[in-house]
Structure 1
Amino acid sequence: MTTRTLPARAARRGASLLTVACATVLSVTAFAGPAVADDAAPAQVIELADAQLDWGVKESFRRYITGPIAGGSAEPTGGAEATETGFRFGGGSGTYDLANHGVTSAFPGGVHFTGHHGELDLALADLQVVTEGTTGTILADVTVAGATTEDVEFATLDLSGVSPGRGDGGAMVFADIPATLTADGATAFEYHGSAMYPEGTALDPATLTVTPGSSGGTDPGTDPGTDPGTDPGTDPGTAPGTDPGTDPGTDPGTDPGEVSGEVVDGRLDWGVKESFRSYVTGPIAGGEVELSGGASELADGYRFPDASGALDAEAGTLASDFAGGVRFTGHEGALDLRFSELSVEIDGTEGALVADVSSKDRETGEVTEYDDLTLAELDLPADALNPEGDVLTLAGVPATLTADGAEAFGGFYEAGEALDPVNVSLALSDDARLPDGDPGGTGGTGGAEAGGATGGPGPQGGANGGALAATGAGGQQLALLGGAGALALAGAAAVRYSRMRPRPQG
């Protein structure tokens, strides 16, 4: 057994979508206004050219496929290209339909995943992106073990928090759109009849780039850049920036100093990483999770109780320790990873999740013990150490794997990987009452992946054979950009939209 000690350390740490989308549609065509205003005008379709989709499907799945367990490959096909973050599907085309304000984009090429000596065989091709309002869909022709189902709704997209930007040649870039696995997508990910990922699992985010294929964007290209950029940029920027910026900045700065002192009780709620939990207990690793020292299981992670430590709200520092531990085993003992003696350390907006870690090398079987290892960096707001009464609550704090943490994980994940967010509740007096129940934030933010441990097996299909239920692209493909443009041009209070939207486990 090898023992290594790594010192604990503290870690580092717009524009309206609707507004910019209006500008995009207006810059596409100068005659959009009359077409919307005049109900009798004939339908017109604006071509979109040079569309591009950057998407990795699921980073942990790619790593699993090409790793030592599956021993397979992830190969781009039909003109698609491999990138550092996944795959690029270029040469796409699309349309904006003024009649129904719909935008669709389609991309040639695909990606072919194989592993386990061919037992796992999954290909995605002819991808499409269709949006509606702040939601959307990624569709693909899915081939499982040689059987193809066309136009499968593979993932849903959430554009509600996306701020579009400008690319080369007037292109509009929607970067890092959150993507979520659909039920049909989960069926494609089955292996030997069991789901590798359940419906609702977070996939890699997608980046969509579209370029207007027609000119006529001189006047419209000016107005949207002025009106949306001036009015929204002035009023919201002034009012919220003045009143809220002053009052909250004063009160929280005063109250915390009154409750600084010893941490008498509390808990840490953390799921480590949802996809890792699913992988360990799933059909491939065939393992289990064991809790110790008073730790308990939550719906989306684990609770580590009996907090102790100290808070200095005036200095902006916190040191808190928690009881209990969690151990993951799988692959008939080849995988063995344990976290215990967890601590949360904060200095201003910099924070760290520290733990004692025991990790078994899957190839050599050697066990390495790490004491006080900085497992994750925590990203905190400026007013994080702001107790209410005698209780300090930190909810949904993003956690990012460190280089030392990646080493302890045995190569499952690289430094910078998003882990499940951290939730902390601390009592600062004997009379303080901690919040009841499960905070429910362990899988909700910071890139953490949604969904339970493992979905139930489907009646057919998956990456090792069978067939998917054909869903089809459907007749409704209305879009975010088109709908937003119609709002701006017609001045309507409501616009009808219809539809456009991911690491393996382990």
Structure 2
Amino acid sequence: MPVRGRRSTALAAAVATAAALGATALATLGAAAPAAAAETPLQDYELTWGIKQSYRTYVGMFGSFTASEGATQAAGNGAFTFTDGAGTYDDAIHAVELGFQGTVLAASTAHGFEVTLTDVRFDSGAGEITADVTTVDNLGGTPTKKGDDVPLATVDVTREMTDMATTLTEEAGEYLGSADYAGAAGDPLTVVDTTPPATDPTDDPTDEPSTEPSTDPTDEQPADPGNEEEPGEKPEEGTKPGTDVPNPSASTSTPPSSAAPAQGEIADGTLGWGVKESFRSYVVGPIAKGGITVSDGATQAAGNGAFTFKDATGTYDTDAGKLTASFQGAVNFKGHESGGTYGLDLTLTNLEATLDGGTGKLSADVTSLGTQTKGVVLADLKAASGDLEAAENVVTVDDIAATLTEAGAKAFGDFYTAGTALDTVDLAVALSDDAQLPGGNGTGGSSGGSAGGTGTTGGTGGTASTIGGTGTGGSTGGGSLASTGTDLPAPALGTAAGIAVAAGAGAVWTARRRRTGAQSAD
């Protein structure tokens, strides 16, 4: 892979790189490079960088990322990894230049923008990361713009080359859609050598330790009086002889006394769902400055994770592949506080999931700014299989795809469009009173807790109804979420992505209220 010929006078960063490569590049060579050799070829490197977390959150709210051609993205809208890094190590100035395979596309059909990154490069001597960038803005009418070797960020190079601090450039702000990115802290950058370590030729894998017992009478076996057994004594059930550690193969649970009938009433159950990761991040982030509160038995996983709703009731028919389950628990999203009132105040309660042959619905009672709508079908569900198989009287269906419905889009104030993929759903229902539900269920949280950002946390979780009043402008009606960006002019959303988000839900909601008031006055 060709590498740009530019060199830098940033020798401090170059020296740090030389130290970092001491255990990698030189090990690859097997010895120090001859003095006459100016450059040493490098290969099999990986680069991981998330650009900027708030940028990923924005794109995730209105569109999605697609990583291809060697690039991957971490789960949960995480950082990107570019592979097959190749380049050179300059022996004279002790710097590395690497080019990586992979393409990352950030796109939103709803708001008409595309940003594509390819040919990502890292130059430790210059202390920068560059890429070829192409942008398209259909809504704003801006023609396609392409830049080669666009400097996206400066890098504080360290000897380990892991978690290196980055600062976004003016060019990054131009291509990513917000001038505010210029000079802002980017995500940390990591560059690693993925070459497997060399095998010591003296290590013969056929040399296995001897299993023959020692015949030397001087070889005394260490005594363990604490584990000695009296002659004829039977080890305690559930333990291995000679140890006090319980045998993991010995089950301590009592299996159900008999198989549950093929159809009947659900005894208990849990539903795991995060709504949408980007929405959770938005609520507690620096724009909404709000919080998320769970109550009435619901829990939230640590780190602003998914929610678990409990105490399922309903019916099942395993032969027909049908299930209807309602769950206890409430989750409240609150943000955009002004003078003690909130522009965003949304509560979901009484969640119900149905499955019939692998497809179904997810519904809930939706309360927004004091107005409640019951039984809103939020998502269409699609399981990997249409079968409902019970193991020890428990039916478990994980990773059920959830797609936002038209009614769900209205409930969210058209914050997302119908057809948007939501977080997947996990179901576990007990068919008998003595059945044991799976432990944990990814909750990691506690009932009544809250996850907050830099602003108000949104209540204490003491009630499943709306917390914190009705908002400064009253209800939007129909159980819909206070709008968070859909009324901004299309060119603003397409050409100034960061500015559109920075405008916040509160400003847009206020504009909508003014128009509503004007219409009422007519």
Q: TM-score if structure 2 supplies the norm length? A: 0.41
- Rg bigger for which structure? 2
- Report the structure, 1 or 2, having the larger helix content: 1
Q: Whose relative contact order is higher, 1 or 2, with alpha carbons under 8 Å and at least 6 apart?
A: 1
TM-score normalized by the length of structure 1: 0.42
